[in-house]
Every structure is written in structure tokens, then in C-alpha cells.
Chain A
Amino acid sequence: MVAPAMPKSWYVPSKPHKFCPGCGHGITLKALGEAIDELDIQNKVVFGCDIGCSLLAWNFFACDSTQTHHGRTTPVMVGIKRARPELICVGYMGDGGGYSIGSQHLLNSAVRNEKITVILINNTNYGMTGGQMAPTTLPGQITETTPYGRDVEVTGYPTKGPEFIAEITPENAYVARATVSKYKQLKRFIKNALRNQEQGNGFSFVEVLSTCPTNWRTSAEQTWHFLEDKMEKYFPIGELKNPLGKGEK
């Protein structure tokens, strides 16, 4: 059997990976792996993952990796970067980790323009704990803790992370929202976020609209429909800040 081509920066002994079939985490990590390869930064990347399904990537890369508590990946990456500015620090987390329990870290790291890259998976729920409401759950969306649909009167509107981060960061920050349905663009955005850090510019943030068929309880077709017709309508795709070029809308 011939194994499928894998990015050089993937750690082969940990493959096949442990994400559910149809999960967007795997697509995102493939884009990240290829971006690392193309920029030839494997030896200086420190990859940090949160608790959440991102944890399943703790040994995903043949890059030095570390793992911490739910929501705390951002400060761990900040600590590493502050200690060793020559390293490329990539924090990888979910929407619960980044926008809820760790929101103060995300916000303040963005304000301080910390020279790290954060990749945040927006799958509109808490995947690992079995599908509860996340800050990004869409209005009316059914989850385990919003069994009658998210009522925005009770729980507010979905967090729009990139819009919010773009507002509070200086111009040399990189801020984008990508989707796993547009792979080439996803990879380009991740690559830009890494380059922006490599050039020492500023905080570099990519939210990735991603799929969670397990907790959405969707078929392949329904999964794609929810991503493209619901999520991408609510959360606009594009680069909100790109100091490296014009920025893609």
C-alpha cells in the first residue's frame, strides 16, 4: 500500500490522526503542515495545543510541541515567544478555548500585539465535551445545552472573533477568517499568518470555519451545507488585516 503524500512537517508515527471522519481539524492541520513546509520553518516552530479536540494534535507534527490547559494555550505561547523570540510559536485552539474560557488571554495578547500566531477552529460548538453551546453557536442552532435552539435574548449573539481582534490590534497585525471549504485560501491565510510572525510584525490570527459532523449529527452533505450556507453566511471569509499585502476580501 502506498501511503498518501503527507507534509514533511507531519509526524508520521501519529498517523492516521484521531479526528472523526469529516472533521475540519484535519484539513486545517494539513494546510498548516504544508505552510510550514513551504516556509521551511519546521525546526523553529513550537506548536501548542489547547484542551478541546485540538488536543488530538499534541503529537501531530514533527515540530516541538506542547500542550496545556483549556484556554491557556495563548499565554503559554506568549511565554515561549517572549523567552525565545527566534522561535515561531503557533497556538492551536477551539472556539470555546479561545473565545470563552481563554478570551482574556486572546484579547490581551492581541492588544499587546504579541508576535505569535493563533489558529482558532470555529466549529460552532464544544466538540470534545460532546457538543454544548460555544460562543460561536449560530442563533437558533441546536446544541446539547441549547436543545431548543440558541436564543440570542438569553445567550447573546455569536462571537465574531476576527472582527473583534482587528479592532483592537495595530496595523501590523494579521487577522483573517478562512474556511475548510476553500483549501487553497485557507493555506494562504495560514501561511500569511506565519510569515507575519516570522517578519516580527505582530499578532497573527486566523479563525477557521470548520466542520464537526459528530456533534452536529450531520451527513456529509448536510455538513457541507451547514458550513457553506449557514456558517459562511454568518461569518464573512477574508483577510481583515494583512500587513504583507493588499488583503483578500
Chain B
Amino acid sequence: MQKVVGDPRKAFITGNEAVAWAALAAKAEIMFGYPITPQNEVMHYWTRLAPKYNRKFLQTEDELSAGFTTCGAIQAGKKAFTATAGPGNVLMQEPFGMAEAMRLPLLAVIQQRGGPSSGTVVYSQQEVTLTTFGGNGEGHRIVYSTSSHQEIFDYVIKGFNTAWKYRFPVFVLGDGYQAKMREPLEMYDPEDRGIEMVKPYALVGLDGRIGETREPQHLCNIYSLEEELYEVVLKIAGDYDAMTPEVVEYEEKECEDADIIVVSHGVVSRAADDAVKILRSQGIKAGYFRPITLRPFPQKQLREALAKSGAGKILIAESSYGQLERLTKQELYGETVPIKSLLMPGVGIVDSDIVNKVKSIM
């Protein structure tokens, strides 16, 4: 496959464009999608770029189809991906469930918009619960929450590798601001950074003659007996737990001596980062903790940050009505530190929002 980026280069582009470039650089071969704002331009850029690099695209009849065609292409051995948002993310939970059950390395970019229902097409962090735990039954998946265009580029590339290495569906969770905003980043071909891209392989349509050189493949995702399913679910859960230390990611700043730790994810963490600096400059010992993988959640690392700092409070800041808060509380079960929150569903959060909130609760 030809190089996509060539010499690493600075670009000033939207997040959606960064997704398309990163997928190309990651050697994605085919995208399936259905229009929804704020994800559309992922498809727009992909359809413009893909033919030049001999990659494919299909606009399907809906998100169910986009998800299931992606599953099919992956079973056929291709690095395939999709992107969606909001109500489309709801519909795609069905094919995402198939990917969880059959361990299909599907990559989906979710550009969160406001909800419930059609909500807004602009921005939110309200798709955290859906994206991390959306399937029926108890599926396992990996969710990266990005906070900059550089990270979108980096984590789309990394996401394909995580998916194909561990065979769990991977989600890159962005939002409408990241999708539509322009921002500088550096694009590169992964090989030039020593990142080896995991090669895809097929589950059906294999080489060889059936009954002579190989057995037929019979893939399935429904079982006759409770015990059969039980084994499957435990095996998947076991593999996931074993993988967790290798994929869990987080970012932590100024937690050593913090009296309060601000927990946030995605773009809101940029406001949190600034807020912590402002608070520090005013003599308030604030710390910053950001889960990059919302699932698996950096539970151990957050507990350690709490322990070493001896912080007396946590503040959770999110553009949603308590989704990160619920996730964090569940992960911190047993800790006694009071947890406060700044919940601003579907609207942006700036540094002063966090600074004022911290001051009001200190």
C-alpha cells in the first residue's frame, strides 16, 4: 500500500478530516457510513481521498446497515470502519453487539451530539454511557476519548491496532466541537514512527479446498444452551481483563499534593487543564486526572492519584448530566472522598466554569 502522508507534516484541519487521514494512514481499506451531523465530513473526506489510495466506500441505507456491512467486511478480512453520532449511535449498537460477540475488530468514530432524541447537531458528551456500555448482554469494547485533533489522528491509528491485536471493537469518542473545529496537528505515516500496523486477516473466504486442505468456518453468535453462552461470556471477559493493563490510558497532572482533583475527559479536559493552572496560580492546590480510555477505565491509576495526593475532594466536570460521574463513582467504590460535580449537558465548559466551581466547594 502506498504511503499516505509521506514526510510528517503540519496541518490545520477539522477533526473529521483528521479521522479520514488517520484511517488512510492506518491502512483502513473500506468505510461504510450513513449521513449524520456532526460526523458527515468523515465520509466527505474519505470519499474524496479513498479512490486515490485504492480504498473503498459505501453509503448504506441506514446505520444498522453501515454497522453490519462493516462487520461483514471485517469477517472477509478487511480493515473496515464506520463513523456516526447521536441517533445513529443508537442504531449502531446492534451491529456493535455483533462485533462484541464475535470479537470483530471494528473501529467506529463517534462524534457526540446533543440528546436525548435528535437533540442538537452541535456538541455534547452525552454519548458516554451509550458508547461504553451500549450493547445488549454484556459486551466488551474499548473506548478512547480524545481531546485534540492530534489525539484524534493518533488514536484512530492506535485504535485500529488495538482492535486487530486484541479483537475487541474500538471506539474513538469525539464530539461535534472536535469534529468541526480546525486545529493544528502533525500527520504522519505510522511506520515512520516505528508503529507497526497489525495486519488484518479473514474469518471467511479462506484459501484452500474445503475437506482437503482445510475445514469450513462456521461462525455463530447464538447458542442453544445457557452453559455454552456462559463459557463464551466468561472467556471474553477474561481476555478483556487480561488485556486491560496493556490498553488502559490516562493523563495525570499536579496530583502529588492536590487538595482537589478535577476529573474530566475529552475536550472538557482542556478546560480542566487550564483551570488547574489558574487555580494553582491563585494558591489552590488542584490536580488534573483524565481517563483516556473510558473503558477500560483507569481505576487503579485514579485510586493511586487519590492515595498519593490525599485529596479531600474530587470534582467531575462534563458536558452531560452525570455520565462520567456515574462511571467514576462505580469505579471508585469503597473510596470515601466526597465527589462533587459540574454537569453541563450539551454545552461547552470553559476554564472559568471549573475555577468558579472549585472555589465554591473548597
- List residues of chain A with CB under 8 Å of any chain B CB: 8, 11, 42-44, 46, 48, 51, 55, 58-59, 61-69, 72, 75-84, 87, 104-105, 107-108
User: Does B222 contact A66, Cβ atoms closer than 8 Å?
Assistant: no
Supply 21 A–B pairs (Cβ within 8 Å), ascending by A: A43-B210, A58-B218, A62-B216, A64-B217, A64-B218, A65-B217, A66-B203, A66-B217, A67-B219, A69-B97, A72-B64, A72-B98, A76-B71, A77-B72, A79-B70, A79-B76, A80-B72, A84-B76, A87-B204, A104-B64, A105-B68
User: Does B217 contact A83, Cβ atoms closer than 8 Å?
Assistant: no
User: Does B80 contact A62, Cβ atoms closer than 8 Å?
Assistant: no
User: Does A69 contact B94, Cβ atoms closer than 8 Å?
Assistant: yes
Q: In the bound complex, what is the Cα–Cα distance between A63 and B208 (angstroms)?
A: 11
User: Does B58 contact A82, Cβ atoms closer than 8 Å?
Assistant: yes
Pick the residue among B56, B205, B221 that contacts A67 (CB under 8 A): B221
User: Does B220 contact A79, Cβ atoms closer than 8 Å?
Assistant: no
Pick the residue among B30, B65, B211, B220 that contacts A104 (CB under 8 A): B65
Pick the residue among B72, B203, B204, B216 that contacts A78 (CB under 8 A): B72
For window 149-207 of B, CB contacts with A under 8 Å fall at: 202-206
Q: Which residue of B lies closest to A82 (CB)?
A: B58
Q: Which residue of B lies closest to A55 (CB)?
A: B222
Interface size class of B (residues with CB under 8 A): 35 or more
Q: Which residues of B contact A48 (CB under 8 A)?
A: 72
Q: Which residues of B contact A69 (CB under 8 A)?
A: 68, 94-95, 97-98
**Interface residue? B140 (CB, 8 A):** no
User: Does B69 contact A61, Cβ atoms closer than 8 Å?
Assistant: no
Q: Which residue of A lies closest to B72 (CB)?
A: A79
9 other A-B residue contacts (CB within 8 Å) besides A69-B68, A72-B64, A79-B71: A46-B205, A65-B204, A67-B219, A67-B222, A68-B98, A75-B65, A79-B73, A83-B30, A84-B77
Pick the residue among B61, B206, B208 that contacts A107 (CB under 8 A): B61
User: Does A59 contact B69, Cβ atoms closer than 8 Å?
Assistant: no
Query: How far, in Å, is A10 (CB) from chain B's closest CB?
Result: 10
Query: How far, in Å, is A221 (CB) from chain B's closest CB?
Result: 32
User: Does B62 contact A82, Cβ atoms closer than 8 Å?
Assistant: no
Q: Which residues of B contact A77 (CB under 8 A)?
A: 72
**Interface residue? B273 (CB, 8 A):** no
- Taken residue by residue from 252 to 278, chain B's Cβ proximity to chain A (1 for < 8 Å, 0 otherwise) reads as 000000000000000000000000000
For window 18-60 of B, CB contacts with A under 8 Å fall at: 29-30, 32, 56, 58, 60
**Interface residue? B78 (CB, 8 A):** yes
Q: In the bound complex, what is the Cα–Cα distance between A105 and B210 (angstroms)?
A: 31
For window 112-129 of B, CB contacts with A under 8 Å fall at: none
Q: Which residues of B contact A43 (CB under 8 A)?
A: 208-210
Pick the residue among B58, B68, B222 that contacts A72 (CB under 8 A): B68
Query: How far, in Å, is A12 (CB) from chain B's closest CB?
Result: 9
